[in-house]
């Protein structure tokens, strides 16, 4: 009898399958803990236990392993009070041995070791722009206006900053697949929710960093899911993502008003 993982990959290839593969997901840590997992054994274990309990109870065909605890990219230029792109121009790679990368590999390994049957697994990775935008999040803002402001201040510098972040996320992605053992990544991205950032600006200055992460995953044999993140308060022109090098594309069918058939 074929495994659940086989079922998922036959569906991805477009082969005939006896049923639709099933999987869904949610976070296992609190809102505050999403960015507090670095060097935090309690949150590490909370994520492992949450995934194990979920898989044991639901018995899904595939799992999106959540990057709970590691939502905050730990750069040398990070500050909660960034007001100008000039404060970001000295950004440097965190390096492939950084604990933020290594501990994510370790938590993925620990989570996968709890699986009692062969299921497909994909690790949640945010796009470089999404990691950057999280630096500007607060109770009154998701960071879109602030990111739009600094992009428009100097678009070329902005692209260079995203390139540095993308290099680190590419390293993370490859290690997660090669060492963590997942089948691929679930890359979450979206447009900047600010009317000043046109599709043309997005594709020129932001898209290259999205593509770099997906290409890194492809280079090490990942089967990868592009998640175009839409929800109440965040909409996307999904057509600008149509040529991304992902094997699967996921979008909010109801919110974006694009059906599966249309997609």
The token pair that represents 171 in the structure block: 């390293």
Q: How far is CA 73 from CA 4, 12, 23, 208, 221, in A?
A: 33, 31, 27, 19, 25
Q: Which of 206, 211, 219, 151 is nearest to 187 (CA)?
A: 211
**What does the pLDDT read at residue 253?**
72
Tens-digit pLDDT string for the chain (263 aa): 689 999 999 999 999 999 999 998 899 999 999 999 999 999 999 999 999 999 999 999 999 999 999 999 999 999 988 999 999 999 999 999 999 999 999 999 999 999 999 999 999 999 999 999 999 988 778 889 999 999 999 999 999 999 999 999 999 999 999 999 999 999 999 989 999 999 999 999 999 999 999 999 999 999 999 998 877 667 878 889 999 999 999 877 766 667 777 76
**What does the pLDDT read at residue 107?**
99
Q: Are the C-beta atoms of 55 and 110 separated by less than 8 Å?
A: no
DSSP string, 116-142: SS--EEEEEEE-HHHHHHHTT-BTTB-
The token pair that represents 184 in the structure block: 């691929």
Q: Are the C-beta atoms of 188 and 236 separated by less than 8 Å?
A: no
In whole angstroms, give the CA distance from residue 79 to residue 73. Answer: 11
Q: Are the C-beta atoms of 64 and 21 separated by less than 8 Å?
A: no
CB neighbour list of residue 164: distance below 8 Å, 6 or more residues apart: 91, 92, 93
**What does the pLDDT read at residue 205?**
98
**What does the pLDDT read at residue 96?**
96
Q: Which helix (H) or strand (E) holds 125?
A: strand 120-126
The token pair that represents 154 in the structure block: 């100097």
**What does the pLDDT read at residue 263?**
67
Domain 75-249 has CATH 3.20.20.210: yes
Reduced to 3 states (helix: H, G, I; strand: E, B; else coil), residue 73 is coil
Sign of the alpha-carbon dihedral angle for 53, 58, 59, 60: negative
The token pair that represents 212 in the structure block: 């770099």
Q: Which of 165, 201, 172 is nearest to 67 (CA)?
A: 172
Q: Are the C-beta atoms of 139 and 157 separated by less than 8 Å?
A: no
In whole angstroms, give the CA distance from residue 137 to residue 116. Answer: 38
Residue with tokens 């054994």: 41
User: Where exactly are the structural domains of the chain?
Assistant: 75-249
């Amino acid at each position: 009898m074929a495994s659940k993982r086989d079922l998922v990959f036959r569906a991805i290839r477009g082969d005939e399958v006896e049923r639709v593969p099933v999987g869904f997901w949610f976070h296992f840590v609190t809102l505050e803990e999403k960015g507090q997992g670095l060097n935090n054994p309690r949150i590490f274990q909370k994520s492992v236990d949450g995934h194990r309990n979920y898989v044991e109870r639901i018995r899904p065909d595939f799992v999106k392993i959540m990057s709970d605890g590691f939502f905050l990219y730990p750069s040398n230029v990070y500050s909660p009070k960034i007001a100008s792109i000039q404060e970001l121009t000295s950004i440097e790679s965190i390096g492939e041995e950084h604990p933020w990368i290594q501990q994510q590999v370790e938590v993925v390994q620990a989570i996968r070791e709890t699986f009692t049957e062969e299921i497909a697994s994909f690790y949640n990775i945010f796009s470089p722009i999404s990691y950057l935008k999280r630096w500007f999040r607060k109770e009154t803002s998701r960071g879109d206006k602030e990111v739009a402001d600094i992009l428009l201040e100097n678009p070329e510098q902005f692209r260079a900053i995203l390139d540095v972040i993308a290099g680190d996320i590419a390293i993370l992605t490859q290690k997660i697949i090669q060492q963590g053992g997942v089948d691929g990544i679930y890359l979450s991205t979206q447009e900047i929710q600010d009317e000043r950032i046109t599709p043309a600006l997005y594709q020129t200055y932001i898209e290259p960093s999205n593509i770099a992460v997906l290409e890194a995953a492809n280079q090490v044999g990942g089967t990868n899911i592009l998640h175009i993140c839409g929800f109440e308060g965040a909409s996307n022109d999904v057509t600008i993502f149509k040529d991304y090098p992902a094997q699967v594309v996921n979008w909010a069918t109801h919110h974006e008003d694009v059906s599966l058939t249309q997609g």
